[in-house]
Amino acid sequence: MSELAEYSKKTRVFQLRLDAPLLFLMAVLASPAFAADTSKSPDAKQLLGVNVGETKIPPNATAPNLRNPYQGDPKAVAQGQTLYSAMNCIGCHAPEGGGGMGPPLSDDIWIYGSEPAQIYLSIVQGRPNGMPSFSKALPPEAIWQLVSYVRSLASDSPGQPVKDLPKSKQTGK
| pLDDT band at residue 50 under the 50/70/90 scheme | low
Are 57 and 121 within 8 A, CB to CB?
yes
Question: In b/e form, how buried is each residue of 129-158, taking b as 16+ CB within 10 angstroms?
Answer: eebbbbbeebeeebbbbbbbbbbbbbbeeb
Report d(CA 131, CA 102) in Å as an integer.
8
pLDDT at 123 over 90: yes
Note the pLDDT of residue 134.
93
pLDDT at 12 over 90: no
Report d(CA 172, CA 135) in Å as an integer.
25
Mean pLDDT across 93-101: 90
Mean pLDDT across 106-123: 87
Using CB atoms within 10 A of its CB, is residue 16 exposed (0-12), middle (13-18) or buried (19+)? exposed
Using CB atoms within 10 A of its CB, is residue 162 exposed (0-12), middle (13-18) or buried (19+)? buried
pLDDT at 24 over 60: yes
Model pTM score: 0.59
Note the pLDDT of residue 88.
93
Note the pLDDT of residue 47.
63
